[in-house]
Amino acid sequence: MLYDIFIDPFVQMYDMPDFFLQVLWEGFVAGILYALIALGFVLIFKASGVFNFAQGIMVVFAGLTLVGLNENGVPAYLALALTIGAMGILAYGVERVVMRPLVNQPDIILLMATIGLTYFLIGFGEFVFGGEPKQMITEELGLPTGSTAIEFGDRGLVILQHIDIAAAVIAVLMVAALGIFFNKTRIGRALRAVADDHQAALSVGISLNQIWAIVWFAAGLVALATGIMWGARSDVSFALEIVAFKALPVLILGGFTSIPGAIVGGLIIGFGEKIGELYWGGLVGGGIESWLAYIIALIFLLFRPQGLFGERIIERV
Amino acid sequence: MFYREAGQFKTSYKADQALMPILQDRVGLLVILAIAFVVIPVFANDFFLTSIMIPFLVFSLAAIGLNVLTGFCGQLSLGTGAFMGVGAYAAYKLTTIFPDANVIVMVLLSGVFSAAIGAIFGLPSLRIKGLYLAVTTLAAQFFLEWCFIRIGWLYNYNASGAIEIPHREAFGLVVSGAEATPIVRYFIVLCITAGIAFLMANVLRGRIGRSWMMIRDMDIAAELMGIRPLQTKLLAFAVSSYICGVAGAMMVFFWLNAAEPSSYSIALSFQILFMVILGGLGSLGGAFMGAAFIWILPVFLKFIPGTIGIDVAAETVEHVTFMIVGALIIFFLIVEPHGFARLWQIAKQKLRVWPFPY
């Protein structure tokens, strides 16, 4: 038993380095996608202190809108533009109808409101586009579909799906774009000011409502990118919503307010989950992927309650 | 005018400390109990009992359980569904191991297992707070759900992977299994729910309940004033999980007859959390009102298109129901973030001063 837990997995890793590398790659890609979902959460949490549970369903909704429009004869790129427009309308609507009347309510009420929003979007999405899974329009959008095998002489080979590489590249580009947006533009600076202190930001003339609409729109764009990437790997369906729960341990690992934290947390969870499942999962009957991420995050939190990059919690009575 | 304390003099300490010091409250409670115990069993048909009243009572009890933890002790939990599942599987195992024992006792006992598991998953609450804690309770949810699927012993290695409730008799009546009549099930569920609600009403206004509320309002201050956070928080987790476990066991024994792991999924956790929030955090009456709203509203919405003569596909109705429930949740949060319990208090105040505005 002890041998199975502590020695055997490492022997396997050494014996089959190609398999191990493949697992690492899978973990990397999964981690990137978790990080993308977590990024949407972080954006909204930073700017408004709202824990946006609807991020997962926004991913599904964006993907469904894109595919649904394309199915009805809209060319792919036009559909993409229209979907971006739809996310803009959604952002404006959420800010106007949900966020503005609930200003200054306790966290849990805002959390509940976003879960209400989740219900609404599930119903709306199924009502408009139907509940069955759809195929993502990967080729129409000009995304690569093939795969490359890298050989290591006689030690075997690792297969890289092109779409995964594209996902990683897009994730990096998005984080870079967000970084520039936050640090170099006027709106980005206003956003950071709001994140620091709502009242101080208001007092220097920053419009909270405008900032919130922008932030929700940015989260919507992140959701769209995530939706395309997830959709290309599997189908676009409401099952993705469960996957979005995986972003939560990523968040608490990285800290709710840190964009680098979301990326690092996503990668830790992605690697940990795949390696744990493939090398240790067999010992307890498999399927541990569904909860391993939470346990990793939980153990982590016991030692560092504010997450890896979270702001230090200082308590006063 | 209709509802007032004036003229009701308390002449002893006992009267002063009564659960309901105001006459109108006592009359109101008696009327509700009379309706629940006499009027509904006499006039209701089987459909009303099985698809509205029994689930409503089961969910009310679960909402009370979560309210103890979230509303009174301030620890947000998203693992309610799993704790209910622990109760259900424990009761199932108990009744298959001891087939001759009274199944109602087994249902009440199953909560103990749920309480133990709840206390274990409550341990992180000593270091982690707020939304971080909510996410760690998801660990309980997904881990326990995995256990229900993977550990064959829990469902006696059924081929279906689901638990099927066997035929059991108690007090000379068939109480569980497919042959049990709705009326018997209804009375059992009603008695257990009312009993636990009464018990909790008294616990919550006593020393234990007050220490929970101190932890909720300001944990460091409570600690400085001599409340032990370890014991208090874990007790809240245990009591809450006990009640949720009993509710989960009742859910499968007296309502569904069979349950699979997906019955106790994260969706159930959210449903119960909605009931607690919409009903009002920190209010027992609110738990009942929230459960009524969340459970009964969709049932009614399903019947509306049929009754006004529009022919709509069942799927569409379901989707629209989802939309309406989501929109109403947001609407009620905006109108009254403190839930129905606060609305009820406002109504009482209006009755108190009627016919004058204030």
Q: Are A247 and A34 in contact (CB under 8 A)?
A: yes
Query: Whose structure tokens read 């760690």?
Result: B136
- Between A170 and A286, the more confident residue is A170
User: Quick one: what percent of chain B has pLDDT higher than 90?
Assistant: 29
Residue given tokens 């994730």 in the structure block: A171
Chain A hits for B274, CB-CB cut-off 8 Å, are 112, 115
Q: How buried is residue B345: exposed, middle or buried, by Cβ count under 10 Å (0-12/13-18/19+)?
A: middle
Domain map (residue ranges) of chain A: 2-240
**C-alpha distances in Å from residue B61, one per residue of B58, B189, B193, B238:** 5, 9, 6, 15
Residues whose CB falls within 8 Å of the CB of residue A149, separated by 6 or more in sequence, listed in order: A157, A158, A159, A160
**Residues of chain B with C-beta less than 8 angstroms from the C-beta of A302:** 124, 127-128
Phi, psi of A164 (to 5 degrees): -65, -40
Residue B240 has pLDDT above 80, yes or no: yes
Higher-confidence residue of A148 and A24: namely A24
pTM above 0.80, yes or no: yes
B219 to chain A, closest Cα gap in Å:
9
The C-alpha of A255 sits at a distance from chain B's nearest C-alpha, in angstroms, of: 9
pLDDT for B195 equals 94
Minimal Cα distance from A114: which residue of B? B330
In this prediction the ipTM stands at 0.82
Give the whole-angstrom CA distance, residue B95 versus residue B167: 10
State the pLDDT at residue B310. 67
Compute the average pLDDT of residues A165-179: 83
Backbone torsions φ then ψ of B347, nearest 5 degrees = -60, -40
User: Across the interface, do A109 and B277 touch by the CB < 8 Å criterion?
Assistant: yes
pLDDT tens-digit profile of A59-86? 888 888 888 888 887 787 888 888 899 9
Is the predicted pLDDT of residue A244 greater than 90, yes or no? no
The percent of chain A in helix, strand and coil, each rounded to the nearest 5, is: 75, 5, 25
Q: Please, which residues 88-107 of chain A have a Cβ atom closer than 8 Å to chain B?
A: 97-98, 101-102, 105-107
In total, the C-beta contacts within 8 angstroms joining chain A to chain B are: 137
A313 band by pLDDT with thresholds 50, 70 and 90: low
C-alpha distance from residue B114 to each of A160, B72, B109, B119, B157 (Å): 45, 19, 9, 9, 21
Task: Report DSSP state, residue A310.
Answer: P
Q: Classify domain B22-353 by CATH architecture.
A: Orthogonal Bundle (1.10)
The pLDDT of residue B40 is 85
pLDDT in tens, B316-327: 777 888 888 888
Query: Higher model confidence: residue B36 or residue A312?
Result: B36
| CB contact (8 A) between residue B326 and residue A119 | yes
Mean pLDDT of A163-178: 83
pLDDT > 70? residue A152: no
Q: Looking at residue B219, what is its pLDDT?
A: 85
Lowest mean pLDDT among A304-313, B311-320, B339-348: A304-313
**Which of A95, A104, A110, A119 would you mutate first to test chain B, the one with the most B CBs within 10 A?**
A119
Whether pLDDT at B251 is above 70: yes
pLDDT band per the 50, 70, 90 thresholds, residue B64: very high
Q: Answer left, alpha or beta for residue A105, where phi above 0 means left and psi between -120 and 50 means alpha.
A: beta
Question: Averaging pLDDT over each range in A151-155, B18-22, B180-184, which range is the top one?
Answer: B180-184
Cβ within 8 Å, pair B281-A288:
no
Going by C-beta distance under 8 Å and a sequence separation of 6 or more, which residues neighbour residue B150?
A284, A285, A286, A287
Chain A interface, mutation test: which of B227, B333, B335, B336, most A Cβ atoms within 10 Å? B333
How many Å apart are CA B67 and CA B62, to the nearest integer?
Answer: 8
d(CA B280, CA B346): 13
Residue-level pLDDT at B312: 66
Between B130, B220, B329, which is nearest A317 by CB? B220
**pLDDT digits 0-9 by tens, A180-200:** 888 888 888 888 888 777 788
**Which of B131, B139, B333 lies at the smallest CB-CB distance from A116?**
B333
DSSP string, B241-303: HHHHHHHHHHIIIIIISEE-GGGGSHHHHHHHHHHHHHH-TT-HHHHHHHHHHHHHHHHHHHH
What's the pLDDT band for A316 if we cut at 50, 70, 90? low
Query: What angle do the packed helices A162-184 and A186-196 form, to 10 degrees?
Result: 80
C-alpha–C-alpha distance, residues A269 and A47, integer Å: 25
pLDDT-based confidence at B14, cuts 50/70/90?
A: confident
pLDDT of residue B82: 93
Return the pLDDT at B56.
93
What pLDDT score was predicted for residue B146? 87
Distance from CA of B280 to the nearest CA of A (A): 11
Give B-chain residues touching A301 at CB under 8 angstroms: 124, 127-128, 132, 136
Q: Is the pLDDT of residue B300 over 90?
A: no
Kindly determine whether residue B266 and residue A111, on different chains, have CB atoms separated by under 8 Å: no
Residues B318 and B321: their CA atoms lie apart, in Å, by 5
Higher pLDDT, B176 or B142: B142
3-state helix, strand, coil in chain B (%, to 5): 75, 5, 25
CB contact under 8 A, B136 and A294: yes
Residue of B nearest to A295 (CA): B139
CA–CA distances in Å: residue A82 to residues A62, A139, B22: 10, 18, 61
Interface test with A, best of B77, B133, B142, B216 (most A CBs within 10 A): B142
What is the distance between the alpha carbons of residues B350 and B352, in angstroms, rounded to a whole number?
5
Q: Chain B neighbours among A 117-146 (CB < 8 Å)?
A: 117-124, 126-127, 131
pLDDT given for residue A154 in this prediction:
62
B192-210 residue pLDDT tens: 999 999 999 999 989 999 9
Nearest CA in chain A to B151: A285
* C-alpha distance from A261 to closest chain B C-alpha (Å): 15
Residues A162-183 have a mean pLDDT of 82
Whether the per-residue pLDDT at B228 is higher than 70: the answer is: yes
> In terms of Cα–Cα distance, which of B342, B33, B81, B20 is closest to B193?
B33
**Whole-number pLDDT of residue A156:** 66
The residue among B113, B52, B65, B88 whose CA lies nearest residue B257 is B88
Q: Tell me what the pLDDT averaged over chain B comes to.
A: 86
Residue B127 has its nearest CB partner, among A121, A286, A305, at A305
- Structure-block tokens of residue B28: 């109101």
pLDDT band (50, 70, 90) for residue B237: very high
The alpha-carbon gap from A115 to the nearest alpha carbon of chain B, in Å, equals 8
Q: B 264-293 residues with CB below 8 A of A?
A: 266, 270, 273-274, 277, 281
What integer is the mean pLDDT of A42-58? 82
The string of pLDDT tens digits covering residues B253-288 is: 888 888 888 888 888 998 899 889 888 888 888 999
Chain B CB contacts of A284 below 8 Å: 150
Q: Which residues of A touch B221 (CB under 8 A)?
A: 317
pLDDT, tens digit, 9 for 90 and up, residues B84-126: 999 999 999 998 888 888 888 888 999 999 999 999 988 888 8
